Chains A and B, each alone.
Chain A
Amino acid sequence: MRGYIEQPRFSCALAAQQTVLAIPRAVPIAHCGPGCVGKTFAFSGLGAGHQGEGYAGGGNVTCTNTNEQDVVFGGEEKLTKFINGALKVIKSDLYVVLAGCTAGIIGDDVLQVSQDFAEEGKPVVGVDTSGFRGNSYVGHELVVKEIIKQFVDDFDLEVEVRKGLVNVFASVPPQNPFWRGDLEEIKRILELLGLEVNILFGTESAGVSEWKDIPNAQFNLVLNTWVGESTAKLLKTKYGTPYLHIPYLPTGAAATSRVIREIGAFAELDSAKVEKLIDKEEKRFYTYFTALADFFADFRNSIPYELYLVADSSYAIGVSDFVVNELGFTPEGIYITDPPSDKVGNQILEIFKGLGEEFEGKVVIEDDGGLIQEDIRKRLNGSKKAAIFGSLWEDMLADETGNLHYHISIPMLNDVVINRSYVGYNGGLRLIEEIYSGIFRNRDVAGTTLVE
């Protein structure tokens, strides 16, 4: 990578404050410069379709607002005072202290300061999320692992493995703008399989008590290309918990059924029960799907068929697979924005190879939005038959080139997201609605073929 980035698709490690806020009744305490909390909140909280400050995020986040004096003399003493204040002022089950760039460079030890509180029995965890340490994905993984190491592991509980209990490590909230709906659907499906689920984030999570229950799981389920794998490895080392790593979020019936079978086999579930569930879900899915047959045929010439997509790998793989292999689009440019290394990048390219030969030469690993747009323009070559999946930036490109656009990655400030999701059976159906309603939303389309 060259380093510089235009139109960023992720924020810095400190954006993990949103990870903390995604745990019911957990709050961050930011030890960073005065603008960092607001900026990372604006990028990922608002940028994910106005998901809001919630219980105590946004402007409510405790912050030491590092000033010149702190940079010169160190800020640990001030941080101690602020943690004390937060414990008194804000009601929370877990306080996660996050270091920003200023603290990271001057060498304030947030782990040590936090540990002093933990030793007094306070639910305080410290994480070095200095912005320069990495992006939002890296920050998320750091926070999850430190909560496990410093908080979950801190209880002298005997690990009692409960058969059928699974911890899920999937979407990065709200870097994946659809994390809320995704987790709802994942939990719904796993529960239909008879599993008990620690979903860990969002309204479906019981909060901190679920986190304390992590060591008792029968297995860990990682539904992400790379985020979460090191957490699963950590849990394997600590508690001997086996894990299943599925490197994408499945969209639609075919992929979801495939993933369910993998989970069933891994968890040693009754295969008849698994097949019964799949039958029921597929029947529903394809009944709705085939009901659109009239529409597909009548509006064939008004429906775009070239696929351009800009997203992180976990979403890009599942959605591309579905849109190409089930809805018949032709992939023209798939841009993957999140790989932390060439190694992961190559793994992603391998996965795409497995999805079909149409993807050959169409997948680009790139985190510079400016270069992505340049490449899409070149590949479009004047076409007006494309569906461009991406962010606010791709909306502009689609408008400029006369194509359709759909949101799938942040920043998407021009959208409102509650529990929209393109994951699972329900997510596939929702995506179908979005794609085909889109042709009426963005263009003058009539039930006949007019000369353009």
Chain B
Amino acid sequence: MSANLDLSSVEVRERRLKSIISYNGTAKDLSDKSKSKSLNIRERSYGQCSDCAQGCGQVISYTIRGAAVIEHSPIGCSAPAVSALGINVANKARGLPPQKTNVLSTNLTEKDTVYGGIEKLNATVREAKRRFDPTAIFVQSSCAAGIIGDDIESATTALQEELGIPVVPIFCEGFKSRIWSTGFDASFHGILRKIVKEPKKKQPDLVNVFNFEGSDTFTPLLAPLGLRVNYVVPLSDVHQLEELSEAACSTHICETLATYPANALEKYYGVPEVKAPPPFGVKWTDEWLRDIARITGKQDLVEDYIAREHERIKPELEAAKEKLKGLKFYIFAGDSYAHSIANMLLDLGVDLIGVTTLHHDQLTDGGEESIDSLGNLVNSHGDVPNFTVCNKQPYQVYKILTKLKPDVMIVRHMNMAVLGAKLGIPSINDGDVNISAGYDGLARLAERLYQASKAKKLFQNVAAHTQNPYSEWWLSQEDPFYFEGGHQ
């Protein structure tokens, strides 16, 4: 349930957090069942592609400024182009200078699967040092490397000694976990083990914000309390990571992303984790600010600040609520952030007709109830109907959407918004999470949703000309989770 940095790899989520990848019911029912950890992963006799831990590991490691990454894998696992495309757009939005994507694949071939790939790994790590002169080198494992049993732990230890910079193994083999988010934990685990240092001095005004490569929306949120933001891990450099232990506290944009490192920093370095829900929606932002103010000794400032913000944002939110009236919304997104979007939508008073999350953790690292995002959602707004869990699986979600017929769908996962598009449902892929943070974030989300609802003609045109690949037999089945009941 909490980090153990003596181990080379992090325990996978299905064991550590009792995570599941399918469920069909309501938010309250799922929340209640999760409290007793009574749900298990159910075997399927049919399914569509998931995603892997290595992919999530890359989201974190590829974006560390000045570092290099080795994919110890066949060439298909290496995916630096997507990162390289987005990273400097993000840097610009963050007001940071551009950075390079320094990735080398060991390009494992058939011969390596027979004789082992460690020599190749050694050569590749040395080449990365020569080519990029990095401040640290991350070595990501893969299915192939894992099954053939390459001893990456020993190799990286020796290479670190030889090269004089941290050489950090990340154990993120795809087959080891059915929960791709395990890959976030794997990258954080490597950083915690090999990069983070004992604090030289405490920085009482510094707040670690675990996020993706998102916009700079936390600085304006925390500046009125006299606090600085340490955005990690994407776009940060190795030095910033070394100093994670010096911050006043840690918070995150999503429990799914970062309760693991936040909890570990608390356990190993006494950096408290903010235990309020993340700042998505009015009440959650209030609570989040209060908790940070409590930890950093800014209670004297916070109530005035919150009151002022409420006053300021009120007309904008009232107008937004008016605009979204009468529309039915559906959410299809990663675990905790889906709960956060749901909280925001319900704060906006809209008709939320259902939610699909991409997995569900029945537990949270640290185990505290106050950071149970689904519990917080149910406590704030009561039950949400048509609540499902599905690790992508368009063939299932297709059935849910055709039955519920939402007006707008909010997606947060790559290549999934197309599902709505093909059904004529205006859909947005809400990539940057930061943009929705705080009071202004709620107003911005409302505006994006309104704009999406206006693009109806495009999506309906797509739907009118799309051939659906699913059989009549499948479409006539009542249960979207048919293949889990032992049915074939």
Contacts and interface: CB of A to CB of B under 8 A. Distances in A.
Decide whether A and B assemble into one complex. yes
Interface of A: 2-8, 10-15, 27, 30, 33-43, 46-47, 52-53, 55-56, 58-68, 70-71, 81-82, 84-86, 88-92, 100-102, 104-106, 130-135, 370, 391-393, 396, 411, 413-414
B154 interface: no
B469 A91 contact: yes
A164 B75 CA distance: 41
The 8 closest A-B pairs by CB, nearest first: A35-B52, A85-B46, A12-B76, A37-B49, A63-B49, A131-B74, A33-B174, A56-B469
A42 B414 contact: yes
A43 B124 CA distance: 22
B379 interface: no
B110 A133 contact: yes
Given A12-B75, A63-B48, A132-B144, A91 B418 contact: no
B39 interface: no
B474 A34 contact: no
B181 to A, nearest CB: 12
B85 A392 contact: yes
A91 B471 contact: yes
A34 B469 contact: no
Interface stretch (B101-109, B250-258, B271-279): B101-109
10 contacts: A4-B107, A7-B103, A35-B53, A36-B49, A40-B76, A62-B48, A88-B473, A89-B474, A105-B113, A392-B81
B176 A68 contact: yes
Nearest to A101: B144
Given A101-B143, A102-B143, A393 B77 contact: no
A67 B395 contact: no
Interface string B77-91: 111111011000000
Contacts of A82: 45-47
A30 B48 CA distance: 9
A60 B469 contact: yes
B315 to A, nearest CB: 39
A34 B488 contact: no
A124 to B, nearest CB: 15
A179 B127 CA distance: 35
Given A10-B75, A34-B52, A38-B52, 18 more contacts: A2-B127, A3-B123, A4-B127, A7-B81, A12-B77, A38-B414, A39-B55, A39-B77, A53-B418, A66-B143, A82-B47, A85-B488, A88-B471, A89-B471, A105-B113, A135-B75, A413-B81, A413-B82
A61 B48 contact: yes
Given A68-B175, A105-B113, A132 B80 contact: no
Given A38-B415, A102-B147, A132 B81 contact: no
B175 A105 contact: no
Given A6-B104, A38-B55, A85-B483, A131 B123 contact: no
Contact of B76 (A11, A53, A391): A11
Interface string B95-137: 0000000111111111011000000100110010001000000
B178 interface: yes
B332 to A, nearest CB: 11
Contacts of B474: 88-89
A38 to B, nearest CB: 5
Interface residues of B, number: 65
Given A63-B50, A101-B143, A132-B113, A34 B107 contact: no
A257 B180 CA distance: 52
B174 A106 contact: no
Interface string B391-402: 010110000000
A231 B413 CA distance: 39
Interface of B: 45-55, 73-82, 84-85, 102-110, 112-113, 120, 123-124, 127, 131, 142-144, 147-148, 174-176, 178, 180, 392, 394-395, 414-416, 418-419, 467, 469-471, 473-474, 483, 488
Contacts of B143: 33, 66, 100-102
A39 to B, nearest CB: 6
A2 B123 contact: yes
A42 B82 contact: yes
A35 B55 contact: yes
A105 B414 contact: no
Contacts of A60: 48, 394-395, 469
A43 B469 contact: no
Contacts of A12: 74-77
B175 A71 contact: yes
Given A12-B74, A12-B75, A132-B109, A62 B123 contact: no
A411 B79 CA distance: 10
A33 B75 contact: no
A5 B78 CA distance: 9
A165 B444 CA distance: 59
A7 B105 CA distance: 9
B150 to A, nearest CB: 12
A66 B80 contact: no
A30 B120 CA distance: 28
B469 A55 contact: yes
Nearest to B178: A67
Contacts of A88: 46, 471, 473-474
B175 A132 contact: no
Contacts of B113: 101, 104-105, 132
Given A59-B48, A132-B112, A392-B81, A3 B75 contact: no
Contacts of A37: 49
Contact of A85 (B45, B74, B178): B45
B175 A102 contact: yes
Nearest to A64: B47
B106 A90 contact: no
Contact of A65 (B109, B178, B395): B178
A117 to B, nearest CB: 14
Contacts of A34: 49-52, 174-175, 178, 180
A60 B50 CA distance: 10
Contacts of B81: 7, 43, 47, 391-393, 411, 413
Contacts of B174: 33-36, 66, 102
Query: Which of A35, A56, A62 lies at the interface centre, i.e. has the most chain B CB atoms within 10 A of its CB?
Result: A35
A101 B469 CA distance: 27
A5 B113 CA distance: 18
A33 B175 CA distance: 6
A282 B49 CA distance: 48
B475 to A, nearest CB: 10
Contacts of B76: 11-15, 36, 39-40, 43, 131
Contacts of B46: 62, 81-82, 84-86, 88-89
Contacts of B488: 81, 84-85
Contact of B144 (A6, A70, A105, A411): A105
Contacts of B52: 33-36, 38-39
Nearest to A133: B110
Contact of A91 (B77, B124, B470): B470
B415 A42 contact: yes
Contacts of B105: 4-6, 8
B471 A90 contact: yes
Contacts of B80: 6-8
B49 A65 contact: yes
A106 B415 CA distance: 30
Nearest to B124: A4
Nearest to B120: A3
Nearest to B172: A35
A37 B473 CA distance: 25
Nearest to B148: A105
B77 A5 contact: no
Contact of A35 (B50, B104, B107, B124): B50
A11 B131 CA distance: 22
Contacts of A91: 469-471
Contacts of A53: 415, 418
Contacts of A4: 104-107, 120, 123-124, 127
Given A53-B415, A393-B84, A38 B51 contact: yes
